[in-house]
Amino acid sequence: GAGLPRSIETDAKRLQQESEEQVREAQQRADAQAQAAATGRVVDEYVAKISAKIRRNIVAPPGISSKIRAEFDVTLLPGGLVLESEVTMTRSSGNKAYDSAVERAILKSQPLPLPPNGELFSRFRNLHLKFSPEQ
């Protein structure tokens, strides 16, 4: 800094360091958001795989309305096993035979597909699943 007073040179360096730090922080925030979005996509993909596997095992009684819907809360163990005491119907379809068919299908579908990344398991421990005959 030949012609600049020392304090101006110091201020310029400090400002440059601050702006570099802000760029780094912004990049880290963007990375975290991208990571969260990617995680969300994986979670959605596997919840869809779980629902599809269960749906294939539902033996629906003949002649039921396609408008009904049963909802279950399911607690999973690592490895995709269902904690059988924690399969809870949260909304009945109004058709006992269909509700039972869904519950049997949930148990029959074990092990449920889980992502290979074990760090995501917490997102699958407690699932809320919805089923209707038309799906």
Euclidean distance between CA atoms 14 and 86, whole angstroms: 58
pLDDT in tens, 21-52: 999 999 999 999 998 888 889 999 999 999 99
Q: What is the CA radius of gyration of the chain?
A: 26
What's the whole-number mean pLDDT along residues 11-21?
A: 90
DSSP annotation string for 49-95: HHHHHHHHT--PPTT--TT--EEEEEEE-TTS-EEEEEEEEEE--S-
- Residue 1: pLDDT band by 50, 70, 90 thresholds? low
The more confident residue out of 104 and 7 is 104
Give the model's pLDDT for residue 122.
92
Structure pTM?
0.77
Task: Return the axis-axis angle of helices 6-56 and 96-108, rounded to nearest 10°.
Answer: 120
Q: What local confidence, expressed as pLDDT, does residue 109 receive?
A: 98
